[in-house]
Amino acid sequence: MSPSSPSNSIKQARHLFFDDGSDPRGLVPGSILASWQRCREMGLVANDYRSVTPVEQHALRVMQERYEQLRKLCRPELEALHTGVNRADSIVILAAPDGFILDALGSADFLDKAARVSLRPGVPWTESATGTNAVGTAIVERRSVEVLGAEHYYMPHKVLSCSATPILNPHGKVVGVLDLSGEASVHHRLALGMVQLAVEQIEHRLFESEFDSGDIVRIQSDPDLLGTAREGMLVFEDHKLVAANRRALRLLGIDWSELGKLRHHELFASALPRFGGISDMRCQDGKMMHARRDLPSRTYLSNRALKPGAKPASVPTSPVFSTEFDAELDRVVKLLDADIPLLLQGETGTGKEVVARELHRRGVRSAAPFVAVNCAALPESLIESELFGYLPGAFTGAKRDGAPGLLRQADGGTLFLDELGDMPLALQSRLLRVLQEREVTPLGGSRAFAIDVSVIAATHRDLGCAVACGEFRADLYYRVAQSVLHLPALCKQPDLAGLISRFWKALGSEKMSMYLDDDLVRELASMPWPGNIRQLISVLRTLMALGNAGTTLSQADLPHDLRVRQSITASATLAHASGDLHAIELHAIDAALASCDGNVTAAARKLGISRSTIYRRMSEESSAI
């Protein structure tokens, strides 16, 4: 045998390290030398090995029960490796994350040989207990390790050839070790590769079990490997990468330390695929990946935390929707989940935001943010910065750290563009570009940030007429109105009295034993309600606050300011009969302003509408004059 043979190299290395105290660098792998040094620092003496006694059967059963889920997860690979090797001189081992051997499969002859050097269930194979060994060293190194013959720290273990790979969970934590050991004299050259492939299968199932039906993004440069254990797996929360498997880290060129730090836009120049979709994604380094995004279950989504500052989706009590409208909402949800934008068309106060929130709650994005933008309430000078965000110093008065903008806050969830018809034309073109390209460039910056949003727009205006008059961009209209849901005015509800009773019940009247008599319900149902549902709810809450528990309210319980509305109803009857609802609104606003001594805020509160609506109607009236 030549002096340079592996056998001579390890003999020379052991002599230098254990006898001379010299550094045998280059004669053994770096992982083996590092382990020897750790063992010596712990005070282990290579020639003073004492066999480790296994724990009692009761203690072993306790440990096995503790890791029962891991054992079940790994059992198919243990049996497959045992069958695949099919030799009388090997043993397949599953160890706990602390090196404690839980299971061992092998021939009876080799199991007996292994037991003589304590390689058996119930024994901890850590470096501190058994010196340099594949299981213990793999735990320390957090990577695959092969320890051949005399590379083991203790000489009695030189009869073994061991190949081990740690099992890592989606957060990079060692949760177990898989090992294939055999006779050192007949080392299986493919042993380590076989163990690595088995662990890859285990980690793939572990990832899917931890994020059961969750928002998993699967990536691969080879599309044929999507759906296999060779795919990369990623999970993002609040734009941050919070979980990954080893394959994904290799594909992206990052390591475990980046989890919780890297954001989506730092990894990818493309937006994530929409739920249930497959698309190409460009990495920031220019590489292209094929990606598939799992469709999350409602259970998973409902348990996810909302982004800081995002409003949770309100859950309206079901009786406020009629059976027919409820079915219509379910139909519209399917369109939104298929990434088809929706336009809600209805008068002010018909509950457009309530409906939008309910649609969000029923959809696949229910646990992600619902961000509402009132395009009519934002000052024109601030709309751009509020929507698109800005970099530090982008303009006078900008926050020192800049701001992400409402569009990026909605990433992954639902963007509700309320009163879109009142957005300035100049901003409409930029919004259109964002919705088309799914990218946002903040003010003062040149870098675009990918976004993934479901879009619901709402308006009280007839956008078709606005397009014809040149007051609204046709291309933006066709972008947001790919599906349309019309919300009827309250006075056009077929069973207004029944709706009033359902709202009253939804407000919790039964818990207070407070009821409305039939005459009062009919009186309320006869009102024109120019403020629609918002105004009705305001009136019902006022009645509930003024009433007493355990009583039935009647017309006599209407307070003075509500009686003013009765007079509004009476005086507006002729206008209503002529079908002039605009006249009803103006009359109601005039009466409310008169009763509030011209206080617009108080009048808006009284009518259950926004101040901007009153100002807009007053402006329209003055223009007509």
DSSP type of residue 531? T
CA distance 270 to 272: 6
Confidence of residue 134 (pLDDT cuts 50, 70, 90): very high
DSSP class per residue in 547-612: S-TT-EE-GGG--HHHHHHHHHHHHTHHHHHTT-HHHHHHHHHHHHHHHTTT-HHHHHHHHTS-HH
Please tell me the predicted confidence (pLDDT) of residue 563: 58
Using the predicted structure, report yes or no on whether residue 1 has a pLDDT greater than 50: no
Class of 57-204 in CATH = alpha beta
* Token pair 């010596």: residue: 40
Among residues 370, 362, 298, the alpha carbon closest in space to that of 331 is found at 362
Residue 422: what pLDDT? 84
pLDDT tens per residue, range 581-623: 566 667 677 777 766 767 777 777 767 676 777 777 666 655 5
Judged by average pLDDT, the poorest of 126-130, 400-404, 558-562 is 558-562
What predicted TM-score, i.e. pTM, was given to this entire model? 0.54
Which pLDDT does position 232 carry in this prediction? Answer: 94
Q: Which fold has domain 318-487?
A: Rossmann fold (3.40.50)
Tokens of 285: 């380094």
Among residues 535, 462, 540, 559, the alpha carbon closest in space to that of 501 is found at 540
Across all residues in the chain, what is the average pLDDT? 82
Place of tokens 């409906």: 355
Residue 566 has pLDDT above 60, yes or no: no
Q: How many C-beta atoms lie closer than 10 Å to residue 568's C-beta?
A: 21
531-545 per-position pLDDT tens digit: 888 788 888 888 888
Do 448 and 263 touch, CB atoms closer than 8 A? no
Task: Read off the pLDDT band of 197 (50, 70, 90).
Answer: very high
The pLDDT value given to residue 108: 73
Alpha-carbon span 569 to 301, nearest angstrom: 46
pLDDT of residue 393: 64
Q: What was the pLDDT predicted at 342?
A: 95
pLDDT (0 to 100) of residue 376: 73
Residue 308 or 377, more confident: 377
Residue 441 φ/ψ, nearest 5 degrees: -110, 115
> How would you class 258 by CB atoms within 10 Å of its CB: exposed for 0-12, middle for 13-18, buried for 19 or more?
middle
User: Which DSSP category does 18 fall into?
Assistant: I
d(CA 624, CA 616): 12
- What is the rounded CA–CA span in Å between residue 589 and residue 349? 14
Give, in degrees to the nearest 5, the angle at Cα 522 between 520 and 523. Answer: 60
End-to-end CA distance of the chain: 111
Gap between the Cα atoms of 525 and 500, Å rounded: 7
Cα separation, 569 vs 588, in Å, equals 8
User: Per the structure block, which two tokens stand in for 415?
Assistant: 């963007």
